[in-house]
Amino acid sequence: MKPLVTLLLAFFLFSEASEALKCYACINSDCKTETCVGSDPRCITAQAKVLNTAYTGKGCVDTTVCNAIGQAYCCSSDLCNSAEGVYWSLMMILAPLLSFILFL
């Protein structure tokens, strides 16, 4: 019985840690991955212009911050704030549309 309790405890400890949201954390092209903390984290991609220089920032924020910032992209799956993910999502939408138009 004792090994079963130990196994269940280890499962819950490690499964909760593995469910933490991971996001890209970047300032322009200098990127790394980070594990988000907090009760309701989201990945964010936001752009800003400072003294005629454009900056793109990515990272983890709370849902309330995402709701407060109007010009930002927020998402809630692992590494969803990468440009590649947005590109492939767009391609998955456009490919059927293009084939429909071509073979109409």
Residue 8 confidence (pLDDT): 38
In a domain, 13, yes or no: no
- At 73, which CATH number? 2.10.60.10
Residue 38 confidence (pLDDT): 85
SS (H, E, C) 19-80: CCCEEEEEECCEEEEEECCCCCEEEEEEEEEECCEEEEEEEEEEHHHHHHCCCEEEECCCCC
In a domain, 62, yes or no: yes
In a domain, 7, yes or no: no
In a domain, 25, yes or no: yes
Its domain, for residue 85, covers 20-102
33-92: per-residue pLDDT in tens? 999 998 889 999 988 888 988 888 999 999 888 888 877 899 999 999 986 544 455 556
Residue 83 confidence (pLDDT): 61
**In the chain, how many domains are there?**
1
Residue 94 confidence (pLDDT): 64
